[in-house]
């Protein structure tokens, strides 16, 4: 770690798109691609996604639409922003892991949309990657979210303060 930022340690380094790259999750939920690797994608969207649920990701490119199948690995409230109708909404960041490592469709996305992109630096306070998390046990499998029911959402107080005008604690 150097200066509060640690270098990428994931199996496949993530890159940020050189220009805005939009997508749709489950064919109808608009999303923005924050970063992408050969194994997964981080999305920003106005709807929470349930972890462990498979879904299709439709990425819009100049040459047409690319569809990639993935599984939601995590989803957290990120902060406030504007949706496609300029309405202020709570935005979520979701991590999807692709089911197929580097399918031809994904190679097309990376080559056309991410040319000459530099690997991304990750702040030290970012949650660990799936590769760093311990293997599931029988106890943790019992706590795995189901496809129906309540969803717990963690909201970072620091991000909310930033969005609401930089109000800081007196600590």
Residue 87 has pLDDT above 50, yes or no: yes
1 found inside a domain = no
- Over residues 103-153, the pLDDT tens digits come to 676 666 666 655 544 454 544 444 444 444 455 554 444 444 445 555 556
3 found inside a domain = no
The model carries a pTM of 0.58
pLDDT at site 16: 84
11 found inside a domain = no
- Over residues 16-61, the pLDDT tens digits come to 888 888 899 998 999 999 998 888 899 999 999 999 999 999 988 8
69 found inside a domain = yes
**Residue 21 structure tokens:** 């790259």
pLDDT at site 128: 45
How many separate domains does the chain show? 1
137 found inside a domain = no
């Amino acid at each position: 770690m150097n200066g509060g930022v640690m270098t990428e340690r994931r199996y496949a380094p993530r890159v940020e798109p050189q220009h805005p790259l939009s997508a749709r999750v489950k064919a109808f939920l608009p999303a923005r691609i924050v970063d992408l690797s050969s194994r997964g994608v981080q999305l920003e969207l106005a709807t929470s996604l349930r972890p462990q649920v498979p879904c299709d990701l439709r990425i819009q490119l100049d040459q047409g639409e690319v569809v990639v199948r993935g599984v939601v690995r995590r989803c957290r409230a990120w902060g406030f922003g504007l949706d496609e109708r300029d309405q202020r909404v709570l935005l979520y960041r979701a991590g999807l892991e692709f089911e197929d490592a580097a399918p031809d469709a994904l190679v097309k996305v990376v080559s056309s949309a991410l040319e000459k992109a530099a690997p991304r630096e990750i702040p030290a306070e970012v949650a660990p990657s799936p590769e760093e998390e311990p293997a599931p046990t029988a106890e943790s499998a019992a706590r795995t979210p189901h496809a129906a029911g309540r969803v717990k959402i963690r909201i970072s107080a620091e991000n909310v303060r930033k969005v609401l005008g930089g109000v800081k604690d007196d600590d």
